[in-house]
A and B are shown apart, each in its own frame.
Chain A
């Protein structure tokens, strides 16, 4: 059996070092865009996905909740996400629990 491939998304370099806001009206580098154009396509490929938060600055609750909690609202199962999503945040490890909290608390649409 082949080990599942892990795709790494580096938030600061692949997306933007200054993510901001929840929706597109809040700015170009918003949570909804990160979810729809980076996270969801990688997860739909069926791979393990690691998101590296280090280097990104000023990560606000709105951005993180829309990007990660929003995955549940667009159809991903919270349990599946907890198995296939890894968060790397060496600078502020509290983000790991925060993000999985958003996923756990989000309600499917």
Chain B
């Protein structure tokens, strides 16, 4: 096979770089990251999940330190930052692994990792300006047994207030996220399970001039698994009713993950009458309509639920469909757009 001079030069450069890296990190297991790490659509989400699963599997077999080499990563978005931070923290807490990150050479990707607190950038002069710090909620996590999770999620209210939403609306944003975190602690990892440092929830946020975006993640059993156990007959009844109304088909005589997810969101209250379980998601969805625009995407199991206002052209505000792969846990991406900035 003939290689061009350019290809040969590039291969030599790569080999030299690898040798330098090996000299610099002689005892690390080096794991190379992808050029793009994003959850902007289901295809990219699947790629990001596959990368993180691969990273987790390899880290599980390591005894020494791991170097996550993101030098050639050119793009990373907020959701991927949360997923990456969660994967790193899970390895650190669950397996006591030392994980170092080689920062991207791409300035935007490096900045995203630094600003969301995924990894430190040792480069001089890369300090994050105060005005940027005020627009960002770093990836924050919590677990069962934490003394004051509400104080951590208060950072969310801080961002929503800056969206010119006012204190009351910002408080409702904070409350909805608290409720979602409460649901994770109650259900995602088992109600009676003792606290486990690697069984956590993660949240992060970003404020721009027009909108605030929040991302929440857990690695629990997922809503399609936990909801039927917790909501019982009332959910089963609702699914049956929705099957008749919407002409849904069952697969192997069982409702699909997307049918369960949609029914759970439509289920306002449990039959016991003593809970408001599941209200966190409903509150998040209801708040979207209080703003001039916004959306929520919920990925859990083999299901993706979306609600968008205003609705896309000739589309419904709400949709729920199979994801085509299994999302381990639940990922919520929630965006609110302030009226004050509407043109």
Contacts and interface: CB of A to CB of B under 8 A. Distances in A.
Contact of B178 (A25, A60, A65): A60
A59 to B, nearest CB: 6
A21 B270 CA distance: 18
B147 interface: yes
Nearest to B283: A61
A25 B143 CA distance: 9
Given A20-B149, A58-B175, A26 B185 contact: yes
Interface in A52-83: 57-63, 65, 69, 73
B274 A69 contact: yes
Interface residues of A, number: 28
Interface string A84-109: 00000001100000000010011100
A26 B152 CA distance: 13
A60 B280 contact: yes
Given A57-B150, A61-B279, A25 B168 contact: no
B154 A25 contact: no
B167 A91 contact: yes
A62 B148 contact: no
Contact of A57 (B157, B273, B274, B275): B157
A102 B175 CA distance: 16
A20 B157 contact: no
Given A16-B148, A28-B147, A58-B153, A65 B182 contact: no
B146 interface: yes
B245 interface: no
B193 to A, nearest CB: 9
B276 interface: yes
Interface string A12-49: 00001011111101111100000000000000000000
Interface residues of B, number: 37
A14 B175 CA distance: 20
B151 interface: yes
Contacts of A61: 175, 179, 276, 279-280, 283
A58 B276 contact: no
B235 interface: no
B151 A18 contact: yes
Interface in B43-99: none
A21 B275 contact: no
Interface string B150-187: 11011011000000000110011011111101110110
B274 A59 contact: no
Contacts of A19: 150
B171 A22 contact: no
Contacts of A20: 148-150, 153, 178, 181-182
B168 A62 contact: no
Contacts of B176: 60
17 contacts: A20-B150, A21-B149, A21-B150, A21-B178, A25-B144, A27-B145, A29-B147, A58-B153, A58-B154, A58-B177, A60-B182, A62-B178, A62-B276, A63-B178, A65-B276, A91-B167, A92-B171
Given A26-B144, A58-B171, A91-B167, 10 more contacts: A18-B154, A20-B148, A20-B178, A23-B186, A27-B147, A60-B280, A62-B182, A62-B275, A73-B274, A92-B168
Interface of B: 144-151, 153-154, 156-157, 167-168, 171-172, 174-179, 181-183, 185-186, 195, 272-277, 279-280, 283
